Amino acid sequence: MKIVLCCLVLSTLLSCSEKQAYYTLEDFGKVEKIDTHIHVSTNRDVFVEQAKRDNFKLLNIVVDFTKGREFVEEEFAYRLDQKTRHPESFEMATAFSIKEWDDPNWLDNTLAWLQKNIDDGALAVKVWKNVGMVFRDSTGQLVMVDNPKLDTIFQFLTERKIPVIGHLGEPKNCWLPLEEMSVNNDRVYFKEHPQYHMYKHPELPTYEDQIAARDRMLEKNPELIFVGAHMGSLEWSVDELAKRLDKFPNMSIDLAARIGQVFFQTIEDREKVREFFIKYQDRILYATDLSDGGKDDPKKLIKEMHDTWMLDWQFFVTDDIMTSDRVNKEFQGLKLPKEVVDKIYSGNAKKWLNMFAGE
> What is the CATH classification number for the domain harbouring 50?
3.20.20.140
For residues 31 and 196, which has the higher predicted lDDT (pLDDT)? 31
Question: Is 202 within a domain?
Answer: yes
Give mean pLDDT, residues 247-266. 98
Q: What is the DSSP string of 181-232?
A: -SSHHHHHHHHH-GGG-GGG-TTSPPHHHHHHHHHHHHHH-TT--EEEHHHH
Domain range spanning residue 183?
25-353
Q: How does residue 167 score in pLDDT terms, banded at 50, 70 and 90? A: very high
Q: What average pLDDT does the chain have?
A: 95
pLDDT > 90? residue 6? no
- Average pLDDT of span 119-130: 98
Is residue 181 assigned to a domain?
yes
Whole-number pLDDT of residue 177: 97
Task: Give the pLDDT band (50/70/90) at residue 357.
Answer: confident
Q: Is residue 85 part of a domain?
A: yes
pLDDT at 4 over 90: no
Mean pLDDT of 224-234: 98
Its pTM stands at 0.94
Is 13 part of any domain? no
pLDDT per residue as tens digits for the range 331-347: 999 999 999 999 999 99
Query: How many structural domains are present in the chain?
Result: 1
Judge whether residue 296 has pLDDT over 80: yes
Pick the closest to residue 266 from 326, 334, 314 (CA basis).
334
DSSP alpha helices (H): ranges in the chain? 2-21, 46-53, 69-85, 106-119, 130-133, 148-159, 184-192, 207-220, 229-232, 238-247, 259-279, 298-317, 338-342, 348-353
3 state DSSP class of 166: strand
Does residue 4 fall inside a structural domain? no
What proportion of the chain, given as a percentage, has pLDDT over 90? 93
pLDDT band at 358 (very low <50, low <70, confident <90, very high): confident
Whole-Å CA distances, 300 to 44, 307, 324: 15, 10, 18
Does the pLDDT value for residue 321 go beyond 90?
Answer: yes
Residue 94 lies in a domain: yes
Residue 224 scores a pLDDT above 70: yes
Q: What is the pLDDT of residues 87-113, one digit of tens each?
A: 999 999 999 999 999 999 999 999 999
Distances 67 to 13, 70, 77, 98, 332 between C-alpha atoms, Å: 60, 8, 16, 9, 42
Residue 9 lies in a domain: no
pLDDT at 229: 98
Cβ burial, residue 108 (10 Å; 0-12/13-18/19+): exposed
The 10s digit of each residue's pLDDT in 31-55 is 999 999 999 999 999 999 999 999 9
Q: Is residue 5 domain-resident?
A: no
